Structure 1
Amino acid sequence: MKIEIWSDIACPWCFIGKRRFEAALDGFDHKNEVDVQWRSFQLDPSLPDHFDGTETEYLSQMKGMPTEQVRQMFDHVTEQAAGVGLSYDFDAVVVANSFTAHRFLHFAKTQGVMSEAKEALLSGHFEKGRDIGDIAYLSEVSSELGLDAAEVRRVLDSEEFSAEVRADISEAHSLGANGVPFFVIDRKYGISGAQPAEVFAQALDTAWEESQKLTVLAGPGQSADGAPADEYADGAVCGPDGCS
């Protein structure tokens, strides 16, 4: 079973959703048969490489949200994050465009450590006040993951993996995702938002159960369009008791 997760490193609910999803996956009987793939998304592609101000100031000035409303929102999100073991510090968040970080994640994917890189960047952004738009920081993360830091710098100084990031974003929109996190199971089921772990658990069970069933489009007694079987003699079958 394949699960694709569209998310943005600059999205606080994406980290919370990741934790809730992982809790559900840990309790899933068929966990070892699930292929989780991270996909890129940007909540605000127009964000400058770096915004000279706090996250509160950014939302207040750029999005027109009252400061008190922003603070209340951050308090609520911080509380929800704490519920899954995360320690958000919005006062320390460095507001930066996430495009370069997404390119780094795609490079990490080619090295087999995309999931670890995703975790590191989310934690760095929301818990440690690190700059996800800074190539020096991304190079530091790469070293922690056992990657070649010099190669990472070379990649990020170029336009490599830009097409892959844009393709992910375009595909998300084509699937109807206008926000993240967005979870897609076997391209058949979609789950929007950082749902409770119980919701993810139920979705996993349902998707797995459905994946084990075979849908018979035509068989004895009927055709694909429901017409009587005798009108489709070529579709006759043989069974234990003989042939029809």
Structure 2
Amino acid sequence: MRVDIWSDIACPWCYIGKRRFEAALADFAHRDDVRVTWRSYQLDPELPERFQGSEAEYLAQAKGISAEQAEQMIAVVCDQAETVGLTYDYEHLVPANSLRGHQLLHLARRTPGIDVAAVKDDLLDAHFVRGEAISDPDVLVAIGARHGLDEDAVRTALEDDAIRAEVLADFRTARSIGVTGVPFFVLEDKYAISGAQPTELFAQALQKVWEETEPAPRNFITIDATDAPACGPEGCA
């Protein structure tokens, strides 16, 4: 089964949704037959490499809301993060453009033997938990190195027009299929799930799509077990 997931490194619900989806996948009987591809999306392509202010100040400015409303939004998402074992640190979070982080992910996708989901986790953790700037090449090189990527290869990828084109192609594909928010999950290029849904919903979706795409073999009930004349590959008897 194929699952494509569009998400942004700078999206708090994407980390929560990732945890919930992966919890459902871990309990799915056919998990070894599920191929997950992490695809890129940017909520704010115009965000500077490093915003000079707090996340609350950025949200208030970007969304045209009050600082109090921004703080309330942050409190809600922090509470939800804790339900999946995540402790977001918005006091030290660095609002930063995620494009280079997506380029690192695409390098990971291109490189055999690299666990892309683990690189994605590390990027999300850097942003929401460790207070690191996900636009900083040194931060991205360190993340890549932890997962087996060569330092020079990472630095080259961060300036590589071909890799950037792949990232932008993910953005275009998202727009073409009507993605307006993330996380966004597409199963078998046919079924869509929007948002950080409960684990139970992801589990139901995986089972439903599997049953539709991989129908179970028929089990016939024998009406009469006595031998009777029949023909087979060897002839008739």
| TM-score interval, smaller chain | 0.7 to 0.9
Q: CA RMSD in A?
A: 1.4
* Structure 1: 4+ residue segments shifted above 3 A: none
The equivalent of 1:147 in structure 2 is 149
Q: Distance in 1 between matches of 2:104 and 2:52?
A: 23
Does 1:53 find its partner at 2:15?
Answer: no
Mark the runs of 5 or more structure 2 residues left unpaired by the alignment. 217-231, 233-237
Identity rate, percent:
51
Q: Distance in 1 between matches of 2:140 and 2:120?
A: 11
The equivalent of 2:181 in structure 1 is 179
The equivalent of 1:157 in structure 2 is 159
Aligned pairs, number: 215
Q: Shift in Å at residue 60 of structure 1?
A: 1.3
What amino acid is aligned across from residue 196 of structure 1 in structure 2? P
Deviations 1:148-203 (A, max 9, x none): 11221122134341111111111111111110000000011000000000000000
Does the CA contact (< 8 Å) of 1:3 and 1:37 recur in 2? yes
Which deviates the most, 44-53 or 78-87? 44-53
Mark the runs of 5 or more structure 1 residues left unpaired by the alignment. 215-239
The equivalent of 1:115 in structure 2 is 117
The equivalent of 1:230 in structure 2 is none
Does 1:13 find its partner at 2:13?
Answer: yes
Q: After TM superposition, list the pairs within 5 Å mapping 1:194-205 onto structure 2.
A: 194-205=196-207
Q: Helix, strand or coil for the counterpart of 1:37?
A: strand
Structure 1 length normalisation: TM-score? 0.85
Q: After TM superposition, list the pairs within 5 Å mapping 1:1-244 onto structure 2.
A: 1-111=1-111, 112-213=114-215
What amino acid is aligned across from residue 102 of structure 2 in structure 1? H
Q: Distance in 2 between matches of 1:160 and 1:133?
A: 18
Structure 2 length normalisation: TM-score? 0.88
Deviations 1:75-132 (A, max 9, x none): 1100100000001011111111101110110001112332111010001100110110
